[in-house]
């Protein structure tokens, strides 16, 4: 344990520390997630191997079906993660390996365990970018083993009151199934700021702290205060600390219920507040929220979990639904961002030692040009049917010539407003050239930009401190991009999760960002922060953050300049 003074209250409290996801806080009762049932030692061979194989096949199928059912209910990014996990449960290579082991005399539950561990070793050897999938695959194993042994399924136990769920790590299925009426926070010993648990927690607007040393020692049934902004978990909080948490939650609840309208700084400078969406259903739900449009529509969801590419007609139908849902509001569409951790069954790629630096995003169209051509055709058709004016951008663009080629192709397809994402440091360093090459706008993907700038895989929990979006080096790349946009009068957006932190959002605006896109639940707090801050103050915050040497120093410098009311968010 460390002794620290956190922002929740002015008193010194003993706290555990980790990496915070989000900026909110909560107080609740610790609920420890018990480990899954393991196969029995020296499990005997199946008396009837054929029957055991049939039982295991049925278990894998049941797990996959359950994951898809939860995905259908969850929607959005959560659905993406659950569907990807379901694919693991249907992997014919994995199931075939289990069958061979049963045939060789290994007990059925042990065969599942051994086969999964073999596949986990392959994933781990493929580089840290795929390491997070090990947790998902082991979750599939635990669920299948439970079916085979006829024991209760692993997961979060029944909750009674406001609960802080504590686990070594939470599988996507567990996180997606949380009772949002009772779960007020999540604490894990493992994971990272962009792990699947963190991503889903952010979408659900649940405060979360990951990589907490000592988390598993928290006593079940005890009370803890969790502060995602500070990355702290305080056992047995004082009355003052509890009151401070409750005050923060009351402020956020009031903001969520208010209708704030367009984003504006205190002196009236417009900053568009937009939503990140992952599916058509996700977009239709977001359209009902108080947002100014979509800043990132992740179209790859239409392509994942398919044996063949979606047709132009299928894509057109999906885009029509999204455009109609938002009417005259802005919709920024990202073209297919596949590859690396989002492989497509119908696209053959050569094995890559480092997929994060390989063929992904726009680069996929080099060998498979038809995918991008069909998508642009479908987007143009949907725009014509609805009268919408979508903004279309390509991911993983690094150079001016790549920008010129994409913008020319998109305009030839009939799309009027075309831009690119700035996720590669080269694109930020040469943002002026990128804009001069024909882009009407750029959008900063801060998650990937951070991992590439800091040479730290975004899924590597051990490098979480390097993945902090407050890293001054990353903010300097944002500043270069913002200055390039301002020089030619073109919009610069941010669609990474950095935009959901109210204080960091002010820094981004101060560095030249003109629109912010985030999970819809985060918009009210960011809108309020803007309304209490002039552009000049935001610019001073940006300068202070750039002058800092560490993320902690950057946040502290900005906090000192902020309206005191913002510290209650």
- Based on the residue annotation, tell me whether 196 is a catalytic residue of this protein: yes
Catalytic residue among 17, 196, 208, 368: 196
**H or E element at residue 493:** strand 492-494
pTM: 0.78
Q: What is the pLDDT along the chain (569 residues), one digit of tens a residue?
A: 333 334 444 333 478 999 888 888 999 999 998 888 889 988 999 999 999 999 999 999 999 998 888 888 776 667 777 888 888 899 999 999 999 999 999 999 999 999 999 988 877 665 545 556 787 888 899 999 999 999 888 878 878 899 999 998 887 778 777 888 899 999 999 887 767 778 778 777 889 999 898 999 999 999 999 999 889 999 999 999 999 999 998 888 888 877 688 999 999 999 999 999 988 988 999 999 999 999 999 998 888 767 788 999 999 999 999 999 999 999 999 998 876 555 666 666 666 666 667 777 788 888 888 999 999 999 999 999 999 999 999 999 999 999 999 999 999 999 999 999 999 999 999 999 999 999 999 999 998 899 899 988 765 566 777 888 899 999 999 999 999 999 999 999 999 878 999 999 999 999 999 999 998 888 999 999 999 999 999 999 999 999 999 999 999 999 999 999 898 78
Q: Does 495 qualify as catalytic in the annotation? A: yes
CATH of 49-149, one of 1.25.40.10, 1.10.10.10, 1.10.274.10, 3.40.50.720: 1.10.274.10
Side-chain half-sphere CA neighbours of 24 within 13 A: 27
109 within 8 A of 148, measured Cβ to Cβ: yes
Determine the Cα–Cα distance for residues 263 and 15; give it in Å rounded to an integer.
Answer: 36
User: Which 3 state secondary structure label does DSSP give 17?
Assistant: strand
| Nearest-angstrom CA–CA distance, 464 and 452 | 14
Q: Spelled out in words, what is the top-level CATH class assigned to the domain 2-34+156-254?
A: alpha beta
Separation CA 502–CA 396 (nearest Å) = 27
C-alpha to C-alpha distance for 338 and 487, rounded to whole angstroms: 32
Q: Hey, where are the domains in the chain?
A: 2-34+156-254, 49-149, 272-520
DSSP states of 199-249: HHHHHHT--EEES-TTGGGSPTT-EEEEETTTTEEEES--HHHHHHHHHHH
111 vs 92: CA distance, rounded Å: 15
Three-state DSSP at 441 gives: strand
Question: Per CATH, is 272-520 categorized as 3.50.50.60?
Answer: no
Q: Which of 17, 147, 208, 495 is catalytic?
A: 495
């Amino acid at each position: 344990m460390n002794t620290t003074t956190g922002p929740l209250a002015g008193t010194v409290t003993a706290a555990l520390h980790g990496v915070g996801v989000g900026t909110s806080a909560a107080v609740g009762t610790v609920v420890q997630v018990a480990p899954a049932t393991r196969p029995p030692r020296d499990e005997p061979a199946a008396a009837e191997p054929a029957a055991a194989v049939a039982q295991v096949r049925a278990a894998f199928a049941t797990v996959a079906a359950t994951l898809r059912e939860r995905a259908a209910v969850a929607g959005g990014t959560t659905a993406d993660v659950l569907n990807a996990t379901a694919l693991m449960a249907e992997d014919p290579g994995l199931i075939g390996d289990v069958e061979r082991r049963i045939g060789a005399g290994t007990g059925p539950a042990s065969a599942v365990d051994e086969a999964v561990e073999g596949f986990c070793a392959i994933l781990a050897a493929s580089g840290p970018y795929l390491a997070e999938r090990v947790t998902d695959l082991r979750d599939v194993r635990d669920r299948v083993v439970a079916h085979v042994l006829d024991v209760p399924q692993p997961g979060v136990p029944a909750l009674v009151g406001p609960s802080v769920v504590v686990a070594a790590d939470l599988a996507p299925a567990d996180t997606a199934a949380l009772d949002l009426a009772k779960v007020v926070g999540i604490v894990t010993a493992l994971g990272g700021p962009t792990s699947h648990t963190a991503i889903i927690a952010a979408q659900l607007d649940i405060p979360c702290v990951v990589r907490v040393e000592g988390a598993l020692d928290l006593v079940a049934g005890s009370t803890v205060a969790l502060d995602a902004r500070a990355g702290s978990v305080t056992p047995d909080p004082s009355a003052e600390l509890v009151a401070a948490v409750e005050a923060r939650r009351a402020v956020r609840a009031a903001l969520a219920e208010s209708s704030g309208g367009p984003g504006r700084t205190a002196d009236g400078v417009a900053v568009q507040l937009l939503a990140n969406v992952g599916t058509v259903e996700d977009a239709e739900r977001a359209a009902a929220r108080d947002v100014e449009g979509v800043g990132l529509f992740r179209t790859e969801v239409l392509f994942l979990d398919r044996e063949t590419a979606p047709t132009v007609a299928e894509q057109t139908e999906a885009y029509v639904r999204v455009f109609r849902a938002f009417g005259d509001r802005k919709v920024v569409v990202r073209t297919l961002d596949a590859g690396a951790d989002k492989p497509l069954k119908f696209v053959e790629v050569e094995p890559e030692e480092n997929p994060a630096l390989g063929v992904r995003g726009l680069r996929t169209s080099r060998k498979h040009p038809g995918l991008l051509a069909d998508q642009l055709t479908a987007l143009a058709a949907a725009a014509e049917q609805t009268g919408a004016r979508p903004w279309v951008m390509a991911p993983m663009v690094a150079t001016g010539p790549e920008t010129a080629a994409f913008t020319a192709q998109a305009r030839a397809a009939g799309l009027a407003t075309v831009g690119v994402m700035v996720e590669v440091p080269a694109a930020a360093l040469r943002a002026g050239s990128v804009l001069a090459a024909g882009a009407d706008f750029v959008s900063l993907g801060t998650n990937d930009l951070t991992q590439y700038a800091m040479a730290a895989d975004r899924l590597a929990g051990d490098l979480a401190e390097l993945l902090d979006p407050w890293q001054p080096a990353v903010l300097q790349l944002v500043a270069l991009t913002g200055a390039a946009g301002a020089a030619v009068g073109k919009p610069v957006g941010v669609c990474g999760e950095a935009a959901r932190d109210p204080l960091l959002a002010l820094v981004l605006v101060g560095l030249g960002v003109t629109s912010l896109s985030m999970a819809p639940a985060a918009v009210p707090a960011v809108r309020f922060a803007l309304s209490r801050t002039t552009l000049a103050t935001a610019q001073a915050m940006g300068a202070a953050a750039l002058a800092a040497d560490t993320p902690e120093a950057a946040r502290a410098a900005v906090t000192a300049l902020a309206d005191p009311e913002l510290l209650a968010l």
